[in-house]
Chains A and B, each alone.
Chain A
Amino acid sequence: MTRDRPWQRAEIPGPIKAFIIEKPESLAALMKRAKRLVIVVGNKLAYTEELGTEPEEFLVSMAKALKAHLVATGKNFRSLREKGYEHIYLMPAPEIVDRLRDPSWRGLDGGGQYDMAVFVGFPYYYEWVLLNGLKHSAYKHLKTISLDPYYHPNATFALPNLLPKDWCNYLKAVVKALSGE
């Protein structure tokens, strides 16, 4: 499996492509540098045998460590809220992307626009175009990261294509690095 090509074969990107972050520690360091970070979680995240853990657990742990805002885009709001993190918001993906491109938007809590947005858990093609929208319209104020186990060329930073087990290990290592263990 190629690590650095768009997961869906024909989703060929433009001249500007995401940097691949191979090391989870590097990704953790990158996220720590953000002043205002939001994690946008789609509804494709699911427990699998290979994964061994609820992926949402990792995301909540990351958000807690980074004091980031967490956006659920739909029915996943219910399960994420049950994880007991106070900065969880509900907003559909088109609406959060529309606001993230607007430099004057004040954010989910009125505290100001974000400078980094992490996306995870969407259908590949859907996230591909949403990230591309931000690549073109929000590049002056926003960096994006795709946390999916597929290379997403339209993010600023992305993971390589990973098998579920390797992805799980990657997320665990990010959480570990963020919590300073």
Chain B
Amino acid sequence: MARKLKVKIDEVRSPVALLKNLEISIGKIVEEWEEPEGPTPFPTVTDLRDWDLKLLSRYKPLYIPLCDLCCLCTFGKCDLSQGRTGACGLDIAAQQSRIVLLACCIGAATHTSHARELVEYLIEKYGRDTPIDLGTDVHVEAPVTRLVCGVRPRTLGDLEDVLDYVESQIVEMLSATHTGQEGSNIDFESKVFHVGMLDHVAMEIADIAQIVALGFPKADPETPLAELGIGTIDITKPVILCIGHNIAPGSEIVDFIERSGLSGLVEVCGLCCTAHELTRYTGQAKIVGPISWQVKFVRTGVPDVIVIDEQCIRTDIVKEAKKVGAVVIATSRKNCQGFPDKTREPADKIVEELINGKIPGALILDPEKVGEVAVKAALKIAPRRAKFKAIPSMEEVVSQAKRCRKCRECERACPNNLPISKALAEAAQGKLDRLAELYDLCIACKRCESSCPAGIPILDLMEKAAERKMKEERFRIRVGRGPIQDTEIREVGRPIVLGEIPGVIAFVGCANYANGGKELVEMCEEFLRRRYIVVASGCAAMTIAMYKDEEGKTLYEKYPGYFDAGGLVNVGSCVANAHISGAAIKIASIFAKRKLRANYKEIADYILNRVGAVGIAWGAMSQKAASIAAGFWRLGVPVIVGPHGSKYRRMLLGRRDREEDWYVYDARTGKKVYVGPVPEHLFYAAETKEEAMVMAAKLCMRANDTTKGRAIKLTHYVDLHRRFFGTLPDDLHLFVRTVADVPITMKDEILKFLKEKGWKEMEIPDPTLLEELVRKP
């Protein structure tokens, strides 16, 4: 496993023995593994820098700064506008990439810290020797870790060593953002890729640890359907709401309920990724919704006890809870909320103090005790809150709406510029339809409320207007399954690599959608109907469940959970994103039999040129989303974000009009061959869902596509382009290599177009960007 110093001896004779192939590392014995170690075990950033530079020479950063200044040190503020440099010498390009690196370090550190906390808890509870067993269908159990680190973790204890490496690398990358360190924007970008790669290792560690220790589904395509939505919560029972990402406290709540014979008497529900984990742990838990449902749900007054762990929790959740008289328990060192530390006090005493309001909330760093306190507090406080009404009356709504001064400050504050003042004007007349419409589009950030000079509780008014709609939020989501089976990879590897399955589309990331979650669902169904493989994780996976068709079915009820054409695969929470990159890696390893162990560049080159996968983070907003995306970029998987994603400050764009950027080596001959702009971009912020769909279809094209596969991919690209834009794509000729690539149903039209463009046939090579993979130089 991980080692500080390694000694390898092929053969040594001594008076007492003959030793062959002895490998010793200080601290750990290197275990037996049939696969030889590749060139980059536990890589530093410079070990993979040449690969990064190849990507960045093709996909150049387009910087679109969110801020023109640098305020990070006391030399400044420094104005970096229009060629100016800061007091340290940094220019605007380097500063933007530096901030991207900083964001990715925050994101990766968050997942890594989550993984560390989880692994420590699980080791303490289940033992260091708990085997990493993901079931009989998953033999390549940690593809990202194997690829990056060159080790094969066998037990929970082994995972700690991998985290040691990830943590040390993140610290090194973070240090590069200090004043007077890195000065090149391209090297900052390389470090961004490195941190993204590390993030996927950390996510993989976190998810496989909880799967093996807590008995989550192991790559099961037919996981059960769980209930989702505010309307599914049984308000006749005491309600415990868990928010965040770490399952430890939530699992202890469920265990305490069972141990105490209270099954069916207490409602346990979750928000954000903890909700995914709860449904993976027990069939009894429910999901309220994604991150943007936090305030919406708390303000209904339904939750009696709110247990917060880590990440993506509204930092004003305590104030919101106080308004509705709910009790809050903080459970993470990273999020103490100013509460007194009650970890060492008896559970019954904490319960009394909480329900009598003697303490504003409790910090309890022992998950088992959290379980006991949360349940006992819920049972005691629920009867007292039974008649509590949080949603305002109709009269209150009208009276509040009449106080609107029409200053439009709410709209200026709204991230989506929603027409709030018009809706308030109608509400003042007793008409609530427009306010109810806003409920679907609103991400409940409350910026409107905090900027309203009249102090109107706008979100409360919206909730009243949409009260019936909220109660009708009853959906079903397929429980997160974790990894993709090796057998599934064997089945689909060939059709993906040859292009016959047109692509793998992964919907990932948080809320903060520009036009509500419906756009995400529309995109998802479009690709499912076209028989792409669709994968989902995190809040995106929840949003996908939140719309029904005319027959009352969600997409999870309409499409199977297999990793196959037309399948909709919910891998789980945001740490389960590692199974998506893992699937791409396993295609190279299991299907194509490329060496996996510590062989990063070759596998990434394979994915870039052969695996038509694209990520869509339609509501991306967080630092974690940035580092997740960066991990995909280094593997050669393009990511499309929604318009809010433009605030990541830069895109990585190819230029199809620069022919010189699109040459690869033919691995058979060593000849450099033009392959067209495939995939054209690596990171792209789309303005509309239509643009995103057309772009996703285009970015699934790869240099290795067979003629049959390319024809299928072109069919989708041309069809979507024509449907949304009313014309053939103007760049179509760049993607047609031979006449056999042309979709048969569009042949006459496309051949005519090609003639007008002066198109000529191209070669189809065995593509690679790595000269060392050329077999005959």
Contact = CB atoms under 8 A, between A and B. Distances in A.
Most chain A CB atoms below 10 A, which of B65, B407, B724: B65
Contacts of A1: 407-408
Given A7-B412, A14-B81, A133-B64, A125 B726 contact: no
B412 A77 contact: no
Nearest to A6: B412
Contact of A124 (B66, B82, B417, B730): B417
A155 to B, nearest CB: 14
A139 interface: yes
A112 interface: no
Contact of A133 (B63, B83, B514, B681): B63
Given A8-B417, A136-B68, A15 B686 contact: no
A126 B687 CA distance: 8
B691 A73 contact: yes
B417 A77 contact: no
Contact of A75 (B415, B416, B657, B724): B724
Nearest to B414: A8
Interface in A80-136: 81, 90, 92-95, 97-99, 101, 105, 122-126, 129-130, 132-133, 135-136
Nearest to B413: A9
B360 interface: no
B65 A123 contact: no
Interface string B111-131: 000000000000000000000
B250 to A, nearest CB: 35
A16 interface: yes
B62 A94 contact: yes
Contact of B687 (A7, A43, A105): A43
Interface in A38-59: 42-43
Contacts of A124: 417
A169 to B, nearest CB: 19
B64 A74 contact: no
Contact of A92 (B66, B80, B646, B686): B686
A137 interface: yes
B647 interface: yes
A14 B86 CA distance: 14
B466 interface: no
Contacts of B649: 129
B727 A77 contact: yes
A129 B65 contact: yes
Contacts of B69: 14-15
A181 B263 CA distance: 80
A14 B68 contact: yes
Contacts of A99: 655, 657
Nearest to B415: A125
A15 B79 contact: yes
Contact of A94 (B68, B409, B651): B651
B718 to A, nearest CB: 14
A129 B646 contact: yes
Given A130-B646, A136-B92, A94 B726 contact: no
Contacts of A97: 62, 64
Nearest to B62: A98
B646 A125 contact: yes
Nearest to A105: B657
Contacts of A135: 81-82
A137 B66 CA distance: 14
B412 A74 contact: no
A177 B657 CA distance: 37
A98 B653 contact: yes
B726 A77 contact: yes
A136 B82 contact: yes
Contacts of B688: 43, 74-75
B684 interface: yes
Contacts of B657: 99, 105
A117 to B, nearest CB: 14
A16 B82 contact: yes
Contacts of B681: 94
Contacts of A78: 725-727
A16 B518 CA distance: 38
Interface string B63-77: 111111100000000
A77 B726 CA distance: 8
A2 B655 CA distance: 40
A95 B729 CA distance: 14
B65 A77 contact: no
Most chain B CB atoms below 10 A, which of A78, A92, A135: A92
Given A15-B79, A74-B691, A74-B725, A94 B451 contact: no
B64 A132 contact: yes
A123 B417 contact: yes
A132 B408 CA distance: 25
B595 interface: no
A101 B647 CA distance: 19
* 4 shortest interchain CB distances as A-B pairs: A14-B68, A133-B64, A78-B726, A129-B64
30 contacts: A7-B417, A8-B417, A9-B412, A9-B413, A10-B413, A14-B68, A14-B79, A15-B79, A74-B688, A74-B691, A75-B691, A75-B724, A77-B726, A92-B691, A92-B695, A93-B687, A94-B653, A97-B64, A98-B653, A123-B416, A126-B643, A126-B685, A129-B65, A129-B646, A129-B647, A132-B68, A136-B68, A136-B81, A136-B92, A139-B83
Interface of B: 62-69, 79-83, 92, 407-409, 412-413, 415-417, 451, 514, 643-644, 646-647, 649, 651, 653, 655, 657, 681, 684-688, 690-691, 695, 724-727, 730
Given A1-B408, A95-B653, 19 more contacts: A14-B68, A14-B81, A15-B68, A74-B690, A74-B725, A75-B690, A75-B691, A81-B727, A92-B691, A99-B657, A122-B643, A123-B417, A123-B643, A125-B646, A126-B643, A129-B64, A129-B65, A136-B80, A136-B82
